[in-house]
Amino acid sequence: MIRRSEGLLTALSSVRVLAVPVIMALVLANDGRGLDDVAGVLFALAAVTDTLDGYLARRWSLETTLGSFLDTTADKLLTSGTLVALVSVGRASAWIATIIIGRELLIMGLRGLVAADGVVMKPSIWGKLKTNTQFVAILLAILHPAVDIGSWRLDEVAMLIAALITVASAVEYLVRFSGSFTGAASEP
């Protein structure tokens, strides 16, 4: 049973990784072809696998280092790849994409640093909030609904909120693990 459960969790992370080039291709090929809905549905399904993967891992007590690595890598690929495609078609700001992707690289490096000390960097509530707001903002950018909030579109506001939460999440992780920079990790 454990092997099947681990296999399912790995498959869920793999689905996210495999969906990335397809979502990117749909976003890039749209050009008035009406592929937004298809790309949006595929992105939403991939994002849901993240929630399902985490829920099942906790429920089955199968939280492993490899599983955590695969899960976070799949999320980063899904987010980063889709953002790059959205920037290419003018649906996302290059600045916001740089903030989000830069944070992901920074925290990935921090994970490696604390792992060298034998510490597992568990996601915080800020990290989970960051992931969820990024997923919502990216989905809205794919669908690009004609909803205005003042002089901004709904997806632009959502992307700005995601960027702000992304920065707050990075600060929280950097503060929490600041001891790793001097060799004294602060994680319990």
Residue 188 lies in a domain: no
- Per-residue pLDDT band at 32 (split at 50, 70, 90): low
DSSP string, 77-112: HHHHHHHHHHHHTTSS-HHHHHHHHHHHHHHHHHHH
Q: What pLDDT score does 44 carry?
A: 97
Residue 61 lies in a domain: yes
Q: What pLDDT score does 2 carry?
A: 61
Q: What pLDDT score does 63 carry?
A: 72
Look at residue 120 and tell me whether its pLDDT is greater than 80.
no
Residue 182 lies in a domain: no
Look at residue 183 and tell me whether its pLDDT is greater than 70.
no
- Per-residue pLDDT band at 143 (split at 50, 70, 90): very high
Residue 187 lies in a domain: no
Sign of CA pseudo-dihedral 177, 168, 122, 188: positive
What's the token pair of residue 188? 């319990």
Look at residue 65 and tell me whether its pLDDT is greater than 80.
no
Look at residue 75 and tell me whether its pLDDT is greater than 80.
yes
Look at residue 6 and tell me whether its pLDDT is greater than 70.
yes
Q: What pLDDT score does 31 carry?
A: 65
* Range name among 7-11, 13-17, 95-99, 162-166 with the lowest pLDDT average: 7-11
Domain count, the chain: 1
Residue 186 lies in a domain: no
Q: What pLDDT score does 188 carry?
A: 46
What's the token pair of residue 77? 């690929």
* Range name among 29-43, 52-66, 126-140 with the lowest pLDDT average: 52-66
List 8's β-bridge partners, or say none.
none
Residue 41 lies in a domain: yes
> Which ranges constitute the DSSP H helices of the chain?
2-29, 36-59, 65-88, 94-116, 125-143, 154-176
Residue 181 lies in a domain: no
Q: Please report, for the domain that includes residue 29, its CATH number.
A: 1.20.120.1760
pLDDT in tens, 86-119: 999 999 999 999 999 999 999 988 888 887 777 7
Look at residue 147 and tell me whether its pLDDT is greater than 80.
yes
- Measured CA to CA, the distance from residue 174 to residue 165 in angstroms comes to 14
The mean pLDDT of the chain is: 88
Residue 111 lies in a domain: yes
Domain containing residue 172: 2-176
